[in-house]
Amino acid sequence: MYIDGGRILSADGTQFVQNQPEGISALDKLASLALEHKVTPPDFGTVDQAGVRSQFKDLQSVALLMSTPGFIPDLEGSGFPLAVLPPPTGDMGSLVTNGAFGLFAVVDVEDEAKEAAAHKLASYLTGSQVAQDVEGWQLAPGLRRSNTSYATTPNREVIAKLVEFGVYEAPVATSAELGAQYGAALQAIILGESTAQEAMDAIAPAYQAELDALSQ
């Protein structure tokens, strides 16, 4: 959704902007994989992540899969032949990735010794040493530049290099109901039930209303 420079939200998280040209262009490209180029499975857009992974690994009815790094150990453990490639580039002209990241937060307490110990534990859990101490601990590359322990194979090296191209939306606490509506809008696009512009324009008022309520 980001390959042409578009975003879901503005940088400050106060405006829904995915119905702007850059966002629409990327969504159109996603939909065209099924609607125009016919390179997706017949059930494209209706199967959950577990189902798609099964198509790739077990049924082997899918040759190319975009998934999270956490799937790699499963494939490696079963000896599945695998080649990891960077995602395609769009009108931005450069790589772009997106995802979630874990955060260890230390509570501000009066006991300085406990606070220092908490910082030390968080530093350990996000650093390279824990990966050496606990086999299989690191399922995805770390955001800390000093932590290179994930890149133990050529495939993982590719993934580790993609971190620097990551974009992350501003964190906003929108409702589960809105999330379901947004997911349905994306599904309608890739199933050809509506155009990207129609779907994003339709959900924009509800999305913006929640953002406005959060900023008050």
Q: Are residues 12 and 28 in the same domain?
A: yes
Q: Are residues 159 and 209 in the same domain?
A: no
Q: Are residues 135 and 175 in the same domain?
A: no
The pTM of this model reads 0.82
Q: Are residues 116 and 181 in the same domain?
A: no
Each residue's pLDDT, cut to its tens digit, for the chain (216 residues) gives 899 999 999 999 999 999 999 999 999 999 999 999 999 888 888 889 899 999 999 999 999 999 888 899 899 999 999 999 999 999 999 999 987 777 788 889 999 999 999 999 988 988 888 888 998 888 888 877 777 888 889 999 999 999 889 888 988 999 999 999 999 999 999 999 999 999 999 999 999 999 999 988
Q: Tell me what pLDDT residue 12 has.
A: 94
What's the rounded Cα separation, in Å, for the pair 121 and 127?
10
Q: How many domains does the chain have?
A: 2
Q: Are residues 11 and 50 in the same domain?
A: yes
Q: Tell me what pLDDT residue 103 has.
A: 78
What's the rounded Cα separation, in Å, for the pair 4 and 26?
6
Q: Tell me what pLDDT residue 41 has.
A: 86
Q: Are residues 4 and 87 in the same domain?
A: yes
Q: Are residues 29 and 132 in the same domain?
A: no
Q: Are residues 69 and 114 in the same domain?
A: no
Q: Are residues 198 and 120 in the same domain?
A: no
The CATH code of the domain that includes 40 is: 3.40.190.10
List Cα–Cα distances, 166 to 99, 152, 160, 162, 163, in angstroms.
7, 21, 11, 7, 5
Q: Which domain holds residue 23?
A: 1-98+169-216
